[in-house]
Amino acid sequence: MRDLDAPTQVFAYEETTKSKLSFFSLIFDDFEGYIQSYWETTQSEKWDDVDVLPESFRIDYIDNQFTEDFEDEDDRRLAIELQGGDEDAYWTDFEHVNTFTIKFYQENKEAVMKDVRDGKRGNGGGVIWDWGLSDDLEEITITTLARWSWIYHSRSYYSWMIKENFSCDTGIPLEEIQKENISINGS
């Protein structure tokens, strides 16, 4: 990946107390075990003795620990899939998909068809879940499964990551993928 091109805001929160507290609420269910572990290493009070985690702890977790725990969880989920385990550990259910367009060139169409033919995910596809040609034959619409983490990333970072990975996986040049953010379920 071309890290220099990556958006600087990786996760879906702003650098405000209110935004970080809201983000903490969003991540809590998926990261409760990680959060508990961080609590136990940084606090003297027992986890079970606390009814509500202090705001200062929640902000501290977002600022100082979440990124590491997120990367560990992402690696864990990918390993499950790569070892032939539950595909849904890394990809979301079939109701959450990424949609974007690429320029229509014969080479791109052939790369798309090769990914679908040779791949393992979806309807026989590799990274591509579904695809279609625009009516004017100028674009190819690509649909891929959304990653489990789509809700946690900032929209611009998630779009960048999906496009970078798609380009690497298919060999289709990044410049031939639409410039705007990808759509997740039409949004």
Q: Classify 161 as helix, strand or coil.
A: helix
Provide the CATH number for the domain formed by 97-184 in this structure: 3.30.70
Q: 84: buried, middle or exposed (CB in 10 Å: 19+, 13-18, 0-12)? A: exposed
Q: What digits encode the pLDDT tens for the residues 125-149?
A: 468 888 889 888 889 999 888 888 8
Q: Classify 144 as helix, strand or coil.
A: strand
pLDDT score, position 92: 65
Structure pTM? 0.83
- Joined together, the tokens standing for residue 18 give 């209110």
Top-confidence residue, 25 or 85: 25
pLDDT score, position 181: 83
Q: What digits encode the pLDDT tens for the residues 33-75?
A: 999 999 999 999 999 999 999 999 999 999 999 999 999 999 9
| Bridge partners (DSSP) listed for residue 144 | 98
Q: Domains of the chain: which residue ranges?
A: 10-88, 97-184
Q: 86: buried, middle or exposed (CB in 10 Å: 19+, 13-18, 0-12)? A: exposed
When mean pLDDT is compared across 6-10, 29-33, 68-72, 168-172, the lowest value belongs to 6-10
86 close to 51: Cβ distance less than 8 angstroms: no
Q: Pick from 105, 25, 12, 103: which is nearest to 61 by CA?
A: 25
Q: What digits encode the pLDDT tens for the residues 60-118?
A: 999 999 999 999 999 988 888 777 766 566 776 667 888 999 999 899 998 888 888 77
